[in-house]
Amino acid sequence: MERAEIAGDPRFFQRTGPHTLAAVVDAAQAEAPPRRLMLSGIAPLQTAEPDQISFLDNRKYVAALEATRAGAVIVHPDLAARVPSTAVAIVTSDPHPAWARVATLFFPLPPAVPGIHPSAIVAPDADIDPTAEVGPLCVIGSGVRIGPRCRIAPLAFIGDGVVMGRDCRIGTHASVSHALLGDRVVLYPGARVGQDGFGFAVTPEGFLTVPQLGRAILEDDVEIGSNSTVDRGSLHDTVIGAGSRLDNLVQIGHNCRIGRCCVLVAQVGVSGSTVLEDFVMLGGQAGLAGHLRIGKGARIAAQAGVIGDVPAGAAYMGFPAEPSRAFLRSVATLRRLVRRDTRK
């Protein structure tokens, strides 16, 4: 079996180029000395060839930088002197975004292929922009509106009345219902948006389902990872703010309101009616109880269990979650007690 590492295997990724050094520097929004150089692709420092570009964003790998055979390297000004003489230093104060822009130059997203596949099932009154792509075996419901250059991958389901803005991408086997999507929204394969929230009343005879009558609102540039779920609201809407990113296997309960540019890492669970203000970050497997407010810019560590409100800008960890410094002091105290007891 083939095991050689390839960045951008042509079997899976469409490549552009080669590109001039000047074009690469412009894409990186960086600075570099003028030189006649053509670059054909990207690669890690350890495997890059003289016609490829690499980057360094972590001092831990300075040794790899000094030994690289890359033709050009994107680096912070502090590390420019460590770039070998055989490579061009492309200098920027923020290498990681520069690298993202250069990688996109070589490997842009494939454009939508306009048209509706013959095997797709599309309601007669669905309004699909002629520049949009609808793949094989998709189901598009009544009253759906799909904007320019959207891409609906095979086997996706778009329920009645759903609205999508421009340049949305809906992955294979994803489903969307009771939802309004802004521009450039991305749902990765298997994502579920707009299904019933977990709402029921308890009666002597058993559980009584409460109708979930809200919507799911995904604002511009939201991304929802594979197999993640965003329940629609019960009466209020569930809202995911512009630019927010949800990793794979994230659960958002009904009536939640997620602010702008929040990051929720894999296996996070947010219970119903909880509010995350802008720029909140939740580490993997963190769990939040319902009806909480997490303040702007707060950071919740992985596997934390949050059962109360969190102030803006705070860092919390542990279960039950508490300010990080208090939690770490508790851990240090416990370890000292254990060591003292073991000496007896």
74-120 pLDDT tens trace? 999 999 999 999 999 999 999 999 999 999 999 999 999 999 999 99
Q: For residue 90, what is the domain's CATH number?
A: 3.40.1390.10
Q: Is the pLDDT of residue 1 over 70?
A: no
Residue 3 lies in a domain: no
Q: Is the pLDDT of residue 10 over 90?
A: no
Active-site residue set: 254
Mean pLDDT on 190-213: 95
Residue 74 and residue 146 share a domain: no
Half-sphere exposure of 177 (CA within 13 A, CB side): 13
Residue 97 and residue 130 share a domain: no
Counting other chains too, the contacts that 61-70 makes at CB distance below 8 Å and 24 or more residues apart are: 70/43, 70/45
- End-of-domain residue from the set 106, 135, 160: 106
Order of strands, sheet of 263-264, starting from the edge strand that comes earlier in the sequence: 115-116, 133-134, 151-152, 169-170, 186-187, 223-224, 245-246, 263-264, 281-282, 299-300, 315-317, 322-323
Q: Is the pLDDT of residue 6 over 80?
A: no
- End-of-domain residue from the set 106, 140, 155: 106
Residue 147 and residue 90 share a domain: no
Q: Is the pLDDT of residue 176 over 90?
A: yes
Domain hosting residue 27, numbered range? 19-106
Model pLDDT, residue 104: 96
Confidence class of residue 335 from pLDDT cuts 50, 70 and 90? confident
Q: Is the pLDDT of residue 344 over 90?
A: no
Taking only the tens place, the pLDDT of each residue in 252-274 is 999 999 999 999 999 999 999 99
Q: Is the pLDDT of residue 2 over 70?
A: no
Instruction: Report which secondary-structure segment, H or E, holds 343.
Output: helix 324-343
Q: Is the pLDDT of residue 4 over 80?
A: no
Model pLDDT, residue 3: 57
Model pLDDT, residue 108: 94
Confidence class of residue 146 from pLDDT cuts 50, 70 and 90? very high
Alpha carbons 61 and 245: distance in angstroms, whole number: 28
Closest CA to 237 of 220, 222, 252: 252
Phi, psi (deg, nearest 5) at residue 288: -120, 130
Residue 24 and residue 169 share a domain: no
Work out how many domains the chain is built from and give that number: 2
Q: Is the pLDDT of residue 153 over 90?
A: yes
Q: Is the pLDDT of residue 66 over 80?
A: yes
Residue 233 and residue 311 share a domain: yes
